[in-house]
Structure 1
């Protein structure tokens, strides 16, 4: 933990935005250097122009590869494209538009040149493809999500509206690197002078009545605060307040945009745990200035730069642990959405709290446990077999009131509004409702820690089987399962998960650092959790030694 974690950023913490943008255009990557190659993780290609990892050459090649990929898949409809507030997002959008226009692709930018949250773009794709057009649409979101201001990000969303799967991203990344290695001669580019537009903000905000009980929120007379953390949701929250008359008049609820500032250096943020500026609404340190205002509102929320994550702050508990809010959201939704199918499952990633398992059992609902990555929820959200999908990292989405798909990407605006609906309908804060779950099911202690690992060890961990775990006990309890594939869909988890009656741990290699991540939880208290963590490291280290 950095000594200044949770403290306001100082001038020395801020990036030089001009230098960042200039490096985007000036530096040319060497794709024989692994650090400068196009590489799609769970959320697209990310990097900094200052590291020659996110530059004009990269974005032009990636966009050309996307053009070729969508042609190979028979995707001929419009391509929705939007950007967040990071300093590299606008230049990347300009580059991408030039390539799309030159290739004859109809690209739809925001009608008001506004920033576009990830969920608004997913919503646009789904709405277009549900309207019965002869051709399908897809999209590009330009965002590194909650990453620091120096980073850029570039994501492709196919016609289902959610994150592309590894088959698509692998093909796109490989083709982009081929293009760059060959000198980028295959890239077509034209001045993007005339580009079609789409009202992302209006379409999304108008449709909220079909997924959230906006009347209940408006009539409850509660005080709502929304902090966009300098991100793409800033004008969406303002329009929500206007469209649904959340002005506090005549006993109606009020919605205040707590901080409407947009600054690509994010000089108004407090520093995250490691002393970096990071717009993570689930981090107590990054959210310190927001939490300080908790007493001024009945519900106070935060979103990251592309609004795919949420943070929920209540006056009685401060910032809620994301796992806690997911459990409350599930309990509420599955008892307040009568049109949802009784067969619709509850989706969770396997590193999310097992409090969700207990809630699911009490509701008589099937639990659908998948590997880390929101892309795994996409098929279930599309066909309605999964009504809610959530990740421990504060990302989730769920179905409309009528049980049809809303977004197939994470939606932080939606989950923040759900917190207000819960407060309006139940008269209790989400944290008070979580306390009731604790009284019913127990109080789990949950934490993620990192352990050192070489690249070779990380590669071995990613391929471990449950059979490679020799231990039969964990922290005094019999081991009940050793998993290398997710129970919900049978997909490889890229690591292992070990469970007992009252505890579990999961170990996965980091994609960016020489560490592996240990997620652990115990219903027997914090001391037992520490024992689980210590033994988990020993168990994994023994397996890595072979």
Structure 2
């Protein structure tokens, strides 16, 4: 996919989403149960879709909320924590969900004044209240047209496939049965039942931050911090953090704008709140010299984007390496390992080995880190897409979902305590371990093509070499035995992984080289040729 002419530029008015029409479509359009694209499908992080495309409408939310309600009751959970982000579709979906949960007699905690709640805050709430589960209404960093619905189990993390398959199948069964099994009541009536409880999510989370981040060190250093709320669900949280810990922090883009008109376009010309994209983050990058450290988040605040004076927007892989090294040396996590996805940089492997620890490599999806966190096998789990979490200072679990807030605050702690921003810190790792070159390419793929990529087998790769080097390994399963949902090819000095997106009509090629940019480019080109040959056989 080539670079769009709008990449990195302020979003023009003509591409802004028509919000009234989108909300109307949520209520008016209905899914065609004979069309697979209209049905509920839980990807790596819940169901995502668009009301205008008949894939995220009131009927979908009624069905998914009912399916979760039944699962919640079956597991005898005591309460459910409900959150939402600032996508336009989140508001009607949040209302619909409340109406179903109340009708099913489920004690549900929702934010004061029907406010916004970040994904990691829901995970934190579940873990600090016994026998709970949760729902987050969010499509993460997806464009303003999209909506999302995610279920978090009682371990606080994204539900694994054994759970989401049950919910997905039940929701689709409900859709096919013309919603006959739905229990629902009007919101005004629901609020009178006593099952819906207005809850202060902000205070307990913000007060607890001192147990996972050295907030005193940040305050004493008096760092000038830029916090770009990016119109997302953590706006009020940053305000509370600034006040509670008396930080020298400027917060901006801290009011809802459902069109996200303040954003700069991503590489494909779309508005996408991707805090790991230099194109989407161009506005904050332009301000880098104004702050000692700056950061942003995607819409549900589970991802982090670190902007430094030395490097601008820090590559997520670089920052993960920095965080792992820093935490290894500044926390008492001696007997614990590190979780990484198989498409994350091999620099992480070198850092982990240097610190005498073990790597747990998993498929893509943060859900794979939940059990290792709970079992105290890892102190850190992170994805190359800028999602990570880590343990409290005392070694107890903080969140088992991605937490962009603590990753951003940790960047300030690192600068305060080492006098190096994370970009400068990464330079010291390069001096020690060498410099890998990493890249990701996205290309269009339809449903049939994505299915073919997801079901690849090692024998489907006929090539014996990659970018001039002998292929040493072809992987379709990770260290834990779980399917990758794609394929990874490894040589002595490079690798690539190819997998379909779980949320968009694209596939992704991840690649890394230890021999420089030209070698990386060659790896990417040959990976693209492999994908094209697979598609040609369909």
TM-score using structure 1 length: 0.94
Q: Determine helix, strand or coil for the equivalent of 2:488.
A: strand
| Matching of residue 180 in structure 1 with residue 172 in structure 2 | no
Query: For this pair of structures, how many residues does the alignment match?
Result: 529
1:364-421 alpha-carbon deviations (Å, 9 max, x no partner): 1101100000000000111211110100100000111111111111000110001000
| Matching of residue 61 in structure 1 with residue 52 in structure 2 | no
Q: Determine helix, strand or coil for the equivalent of 1:279.
A: coil
Offset, 1:326 = 0.6
The 1-side partners of 2:207 and 2:287 are apart by 29
Partner residue, 2:320: 326
Question: Are 2:133 and 2:152, in contact at CA under 8 Å, matched by a contact in 1?
Answer: yes
Question: Are 1:495 and 1:508, in contact at CA under 8 Å, matched by a contact in 2?
Answer: yes
Partner residue, 2:12: 10
Partner residue, 2:52: 50
Partner residue, 2:143: 148
Offset, 1:21 = 1.1
| Matching of residue 501 in structure 1 with residue 492 in structure 2 | yes
Question: Are 1:126 and 1:159, in contact at CA under 8 Å, matched by a contact in 2?
Answer: yes
Q: Determine helix, strand or coil for the equivalent of 1:128.
A: coil
Task: Decide which of 416, 424, 435 is 1:443's aligned counterpart.
Answer: 435
Q: Determine helix, strand or coil for the equivalent of 1:229.
A: coil
The 2-side partners of 1:514 and 1:108 are apart by 34
Question: Are 1:78 and 1:105, in contact at CA under 8 Å, matched by a contact in 2?
Answer: yes
Partner residue, 1:96: 97
The 2-side partners of 1:402 and 1:269 are apart by 38
1:457-511 alpha-carbon deviations (Å, 9 max, x no partner): 5433322333443433322333332211102x11110121111222111111334
- Farther off after superposition, 280-289 or 184-193: 184-193
CA RMSD of the aligned region, Å?
A: 1.7
Question: Are 2:77 and 2:133, in contact at CA under 8 Å, matched by a contact in 1?
Answer: no
The 1-side partners of 2:335 and 2:325 are apart by 15
Task: Decide which of 349, 356, 371 is 1:379's aligned counterpart.
Answer: 371
Partner residue, 2:153: 158
The within-5 A match list for 1:137-536 is 137-191=132-186, 192-194=190-192, 195-246=196-247, 254-338=248-332, 340=333, 342-450=334-442, 455-487=447-479, 489-511=480-502, 515-536=506-527
The 2-side partners of 1:310 and 1:416 are apart by 6
Question: Are 2:509 and 2:524, in contact at CA under 8 Å, matched by a contact in 1?
Answer: yes
1:271-314 alpha-carbon deviations (Å, 9 max, x no partner): 11111111111111111111111011011000011000110000
Partner residue, 1:133: none
The 2-side partners of 1:422 and 1:435 are apart by 14
Partner residue, 1:120: 121
Report the CA distance shift for 1:67/1:411 in structure 2 as closer, same or farther (over 3 A): same
- Farther off after superposition, 203-212 or 265-274: 265-274
Partner residue, 1:79: 80
The 1-side partners of 2:448 and 2:420 are apart by 50
| Structure 2 unaligned regions, length at least 5 | none
Q: Determine helix, strand or coil for the equivalent of 2:344.
A: coil
Question: Are 1:279 and 1:305, in contact at CA under 8 Å, matched by a contact in 2?
Answer: yes
Partner residue, 1:30: 32
Report the CA distance shift for 1:99/1:276 in structure 2 as closer, same or farther (over 3 A): same
Q: Determine helix, strand or coil for the equivalent of 2:9.
A: coil
- Farther off after superposition, 183-192 or 530-539: 530-539
The 1-side partners of 2:445 and 2:50 are apart by 25
- Farther off after superposition, 14-23 or 534-543: 534-543
Q: Determine helix, strand or coil for the equivalent of 1:152.
A: strand
Question: Are 2:229 and 2:254, in contact at CA under 8 Å, matched by a contact in 1?
Answer: yes
Question: Are 2:43 and 2:503, in contact at CA under 8 Å, matched by a contact in 1?
Answer: no
Report the CA distance shift for 1:242/1:121 in structure 2 as closer, same or farther (over 3 A): same
Offset, 1:42 = 1.1
Report the CA distance shift for 1:98/1:217 in structure 2 as closer, same or farther (over 3 A): same
- Farther off after superposition, 492-501 or 154-163: 492-501
Q: Determine helix, strand or coil for the equivalent of 2:128.
A: helix
Report the CA distance shift for 1:235/1:514 in structure 2 as closer, same or farther (over 3 A): closer
Report the CA distance shift for 1:259/1:451 in structure 2 as closer, same or farther (over 3 A): closer
The 1-side partners of 2:140 and 2:39 are apart by 20
Question: Are 2:44 and 2:502, in contact at CA under 8 Å, matched by a contact in 1?
Answer: no
The 2-side partners of 1:374 and 1:57 are apart by 28
Report the CA distance shift for 1:452/1:312 in structure 2 as closer, same or farther (over 3 A): closer
Q: Determine helix, strand or coil for the equivalent of 1:170.
A: helix
Report the CA distance shift for 1:456/1:95 in structure 2 as closer, same or farther (over 3 A): closer
| Structure 1 unaligned regions, length at least 5 | 130-135, 247-253
- Farther off after superposition, 526-535 or 210-219: 526-535
Report the CA distance shift for 1:109/1:490 in structure 2 as closer, same or farther (over 3 A): same
